[in-house]
């Protein structure tokens, strides 16, 4: 029997490698742009068509390549960036594995046009699935233009695996943002389907962030600066009160490279502990500069995960520098702080226990203290109730109450008997005792026991029913904004909003497109907070992204749920007696008062029988 083991042909080996390096158009964008940066470019243009599926083109003004280098660049393990294994210990470029171009070229049609300044004439090289089709001299500007067409044309399984253009575009925008933030001094332009998405001029980091996120970031950012002999930390954090509802704006860079590191992420999150609401995420753009010899970037082909030798010490320094930034910001309203004296620590042997440096931070400081009431005022007084006769209705037999077992799948669900009991027992509203405890629960009683209602969940149910009624009766009640509010939205989300704003209008929004990724909001549904419309949109986008199945099946109910959540009275809000009775009244006029639209329990009943068993 003959031997079985063969060496794979290069084209196959490259395709396998491509599986790791190039998972989607976004990863090709990342590799091409990183190469342009490594080539010393000061101006990079990114042009994509169909979310990169038909074209990704990166035009740079970097060092260019010779005729031979252009050919070599698409060979596997071909790199100009390292020579020996030792060089791995001092990597200062983004690339070094020499895999990216070879991988991209194995799964696409690639054209490279490139010219070095010192050369009279440039070269054009065309490849298809790793195979060089042609190479010829050409006139072209200094620098390199790489066009990647029909990504995965020869790997249908992968091509079919790609997500919708909207999703793939989002990945590309994410990569573009990482590069744009890490390289504020480089001029960057981004065209999508001939539409200019971003035009970023050379600037400092803060200006770059403002160019990407809008001028509102001017007042949101607090600088972080900390120098030690082990690590230099710089960048910005978002003020706690501007924390985001989605985990979008969290960026870590090490030596100019975007990285993910859950451990260091924790250092920051922990520094924000107690300062931001539980369901929100801190914003940060943090740059670590360390000796390249103390990190290993070689552990993952996309190089977004790296190992730090002295991670514990870096954790402590990072944590304290964030606390310090927050602390300073709490005393000084201006952003132009002098930096603290740097603390240098002697290099520690690896694994040695580190004591966290002490800091001049007010540990008691808590910006939320001043305004626990994070949301807005909700009209709850009985005067505004739609259901003034609700209590009365409860006298009627339970004809209005329908129980759908599928909806009411939680343990807190009331039985039909208890509802009937509730119904019978509530005889006289005025004599009914109800009160609020811990600014969260409303306690009242019925004939068979004590009822504890969660105010937020209760109001969510009320708001949801109201919004669904608005839809059914096509009777939206809007509150017109005093001034139309222009809201700029992350381009990926802007697409989402365009898809759904007709739906939102049915609830009482009035939204119109107003320039690139900006929308004008003239009205919002009655009862919704008008103070933070961008935050409201974010929550809606989040719901749409988290529940793609429901977007297909039951879009309007999903939107109603999200809006209900965002307009419900919050836990922690003290309610007036009339608000309490109005809330209870409205709740029991809902068809399913016992659960929120998401299926969480709204109330529990402790029967006197149970109490009797426990207290003898």
Residues near ligand ADP (CB under 6 A) are 31, 35-36, 38-39, 60, 62-65, 73, 78-81, 95-102, 144
- Measured CA to CA, the distance from residue 471 to residue 478 in angstroms comes to 13
The contact set with Mg ion (CB under 5 A) reads: 35, 95, 100
Q: What does the DSSP 8-state code read for residue 527?
A: T
- Give least dist CB 294 to Mg ion, A: 23
- Give least dist CB 88 to ligand ADP, A: 12
- Give least dist CB 62 to ligand ADP, A: 5
CB atoms under 10 Å from CB of 420, counted, come to 14
Of 380, 402, 401, 409, which Cα lies nearest the Cα of 598? 409
Q: Which is nearer to ligand ADP, 98 or 129 (CB)?
A: 98
User: Using CB distances below 5 to 8 A depending on partner kind, what does residue 21 bind out of ligand ADP, Mg ion, none?
Assistant: none
Contact 30, 52 (CB under 8 A): no
Of 445, 417, 393, which Cα lies nearest the Cα of 591? 393
- Give least dist CB 126 to Mg ion, A: 20
User: Using CB distances below 5 to 8 A depending on partner kind, what does residue 234 bind out of ligand ADP, Mg ion, none?
Assistant: none
User: Using CB distances below 5 to 8 A depending on partner kind, what does residue 96 bind out of ligand ADP, Mg ion, none?
Assistant: ligand ADP
- Measured CA to CA, the distance from residue 543 to residue 64 in angstroms comes to 46
Q: Which is nearer to ligand ADP, 113 or 239 (CB)?
A: 113
Contact 159, 115 (CB under 8 A): no
Sign of the CA dihedral with 307 first, then 312, 318, and 322 last: positive
User: Using CB distances below 5 to 8 A depending on partner kind, what does residue 81 bind out of ligand ADP, Mg ion, none?
Assistant: ligand ADP
- Measured CA to CA, the distance from residue 561 to residue 543 in angstroms comes to 9
Q: Which residues pair with residue 128 across a beta bridge?
A: 109, 131
- Measured CA to CA, the distance from residue 568 to residue 598 in angstroms comes to 14
Paired tokens of 216: 């509102």
User: Using CB distances below 5 to 8 A depending on partner kind, what does residue 25 bind out of Mg ion, ligand ADP, none?
Assistant: none
User: Using CB distances below 5 to 8 A depending on partner kind, what does residue 98 bind out of Mg ion, ligand ADP, none?
Assistant: ligand ADP
- Give least dist CB 22 to ligand ADP, A: 11
SS3 408: coil
Q: What does the DSSP 8-state code read for residue 300?
A: S
User: Using CB distances below 5 to 8 A depending on partner kind, what does residue 62 bind out of ligand ADP, Mg ion, none?
Assistant: ligand ADP
Q: Which is nearer to ligand ADP, 100 or 314 (CB)?
A: 100
Of 572, 589, 584, which Cα lies nearest the Cα of 451? 584
User: Using CB distances below 5 to 8 A depending on partner kind, what does residue 80 bind out of Mg ion, ligand ADP, none?
Assistant: ligand ADP
- Give least dist CB 104 to ligand ADP, A: 8
Q: Which is nearer to ligand ADP, 135 or 270 (CB)?
A: 135
- Give least dist CB 72 to ligand ADP, A: 7
- Give least dist CB 302 to ligand ADP, A: 12
Q: Which is nearer to ligand ADP, 69 or 532 (CB)?
A: 69
Sign of the CA dihedral with 571 first, then 573, 577, and 581 last: negative
Q: Which is nearer to Mg ion, 95 or 240 (CB)?
A: 95
């Amino acid at each position: 029997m003959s031997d079985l083991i063969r060496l794979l042909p290069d084209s196959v080996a490259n395709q396998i490698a491509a599986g790791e390096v190039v998972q989607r158009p976004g990863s090709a964008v990342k590799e091409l742009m990183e190469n342009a940066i490594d080539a010393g470019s000061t101006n990079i243009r990114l042009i994509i068509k169909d979310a990169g599926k038909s074209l990704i083109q990166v035009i740079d003004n970097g060092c260019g390549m010779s005729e031979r280098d252009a050919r070599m660049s698409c060979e596997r393990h071909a790199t100009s960036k390292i020579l020996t294994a030792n060089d791995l210990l001092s990597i200062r470029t983004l690339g070094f594995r020499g895999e990216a171009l070879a991988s991209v070229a194995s799964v696409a049609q690639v054209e490279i046009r490139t010219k070095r300044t010192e050369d009279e004439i440039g070269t054009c090289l065309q490849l298809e699935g790793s195979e060089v089709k042609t190479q010829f001299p050409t006139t072209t500007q200094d620098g390199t233009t790489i066009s990647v067409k029909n990504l995965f044309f020869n790997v249908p399984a992968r091509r079919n695996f790609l997500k919708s253009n909207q999703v793939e575009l989002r990945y590309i925008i994410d990569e573009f943002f990482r590069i744009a933030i890490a390289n504020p001094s480089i001029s960057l332009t981004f065209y999508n389907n001939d539409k200019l998405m971003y035009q970023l001029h050379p600037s400092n980091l803060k200006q770059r962030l403002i160019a990407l996120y809008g001028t509102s970031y001017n007042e949101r950012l607090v600088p972080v600066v900390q120098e030690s002999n082990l690590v230099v930390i710089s960048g910005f954090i978002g003020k706690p009160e501007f924390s985001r509802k989605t985990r979008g704006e969290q960026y870590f860079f090490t030596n100019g490279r975007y990285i993910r590191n859950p451990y260091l992420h924790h250092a920051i999150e922990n520094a924000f502990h107690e300062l931001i609401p539980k369901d929100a995420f801190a914003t940060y753009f943090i740059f670590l500069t360390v000796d390249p010899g103390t990190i290993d970037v070689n552990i993952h082909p996309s190089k977004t995960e790296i190992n730090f030798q002295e991670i514990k010490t870096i954790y402590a320094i990072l944590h304290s520098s964030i606390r310090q930034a927050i602390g300073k910001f709490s005393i000084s309203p201006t952003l132009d702080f002098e930096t603290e004296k740097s603390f240098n620590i002697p290099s520690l042997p690896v694994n040695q226990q580190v004591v966290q440096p002490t800091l001049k931070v007010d540990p008691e400081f808590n910006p939320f203290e001043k305004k626990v009431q994070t949301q807005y005022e909700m009209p709850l007084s009985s005067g505004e109730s739609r259901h003034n006769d609700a209590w009365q209705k409860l006298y009627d037999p339970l004809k209005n109450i329908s129980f759908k077992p599928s909806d009411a799948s939680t343990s807190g669900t009331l039985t039909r008997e208890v509802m009937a009991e509730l119904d019978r027992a509530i005889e006289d509203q005025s004599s009914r005792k109800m009160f609020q405890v811990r600014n969260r629960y409303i306690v009242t009683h019925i004939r068979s026991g004590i009822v504890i209602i969660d105010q937020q969940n209760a109001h969510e149910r009320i708001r949801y029913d109201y919004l669904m009624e608005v839809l059914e009766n096509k009777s939206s009640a809007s509150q017109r904004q005093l001034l139309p509010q222009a809201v700029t939205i992350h381009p990926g989300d802007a697409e989402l909003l365009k898809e759904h704003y007709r739906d939102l209008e049915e609830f009482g929004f009035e939204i119109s497109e107003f320039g690139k990724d900006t929308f004008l909001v003239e009205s919002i549904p009655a009862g919704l907070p008008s103070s933070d419309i961008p935050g409201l949109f974010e929550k809606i986008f989040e719901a749409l992204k988290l529940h793609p199945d429901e977007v297909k099946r039951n879009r309007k109910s999903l939107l109603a749920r999200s809006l209900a959540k965002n307009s419900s009275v919050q836990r922690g809000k003290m309610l007036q007696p009339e608000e309490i009775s109005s809330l209870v009244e409205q709740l029991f006029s809902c068809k399913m008062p016992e659960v929120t639209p998401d299926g969480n329990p709204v109330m529990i009943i402790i029967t006197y029988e149970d109490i009797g068993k426990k207290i003898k």
